[in-house]
Amino acid sequence: MTPVLKTLYHEKLRASLKEQLGVSNVHQVPKLEKIVINCSVGSQGERKQAVEDAVNEVTLITGQKPVITKSKKAIANFKLRIGENVGVKVTLRGNRMYDFLMRLVRTALPRVRDFRGVAPRSFDGRGNYTLGITDQSIFPEIELEKIKRSLGFDITFVTSTDNDDHARELLRALGMPFRGKIGQTQQKQGEESN
């Protein structure tokens, strides 16, 4: 079954983005290529159990089993050796990518306390956007009673364009709730403090 967001992109959003961005060819319209979710357990005492919990929870959230990441350096202060398990990551493409994006935008992000939108400036200069999630409990798949430790995620949206403005318009069209316009947020904060 084709995800609703994928169908919407191909049938409506692509044509409107082509017109809005002023590109001549439909193949120049930016598209979402993959979503990479990275979770690091850091320097927790029970690192082995923390990695197992991260694998289980990321699997529940994404519907795909993650790869365990290993340390590249030995750091004595963190009691970390080379090759020790330090986190998990998963790369979503195709239908799973669109399903995850829809659940993130429509269900998970609105559950964040005092949510006013995501930062519009977190682009890397090459059209990729990274969003940090500090708590896994915003995802409805996670049962609150079973949470043993708080895990944070980095979610990176990789697009087919090198232009940050084009990537921002793509993500906005796909439903990403950016905080106002870039200059308006700071202006509103200044007015509220007066």
Domains of the chain from N-terminus onward: 4-42+54-67+88-177 (3.30.1440.10)
How long a stretch of residues is the chain?
Answer: 194
Q: pTM of the predicted model, to two decimals?
A: 0.84
Amino acid at 151: L
Q: From first to last of the 194 residues of the chain, give the pLDDT tens digit.
A: 788 888 888 889 888 988 888 888 888 889 999 999 998 887 656 778 888 888 888 898 888 999 998 888 887 777 778 888 888 999 999 999 999 999 888 888 888 888 888 888 888 888 899 998 888 888 878 777 777 777 888 999 999 989 889 999 999 999 889 887 644 443 444 444 44
In the chain, what is the straight-line distance between the N-terminal and C-terminal CA atoms, in Å? 52
Nearest CA-CA partner of 77 in 42, 41, 49:
42
Q: Are 160 and 31 in contact (CB under 8 A)?
A: yes
Q: Give the DSSP per-residue string, the chain.
A: ---HHHHHIIIIIHHHHHHHHT-SSGGGS--EEEEEEEEE--S-TTHHHHHHHHHHHHHHHHSSPPEEEE-SS-BGGGTB-TT-EEEEEEEE-HHHHHHHHHHIIIIIGGGSTT---B-TT-B-SSS-EEEEES-GGGSTTS-GGG--S---EEEEEEES-S-HHHHHHHHHHTT--B-S-HHHHHHHHHHHH-
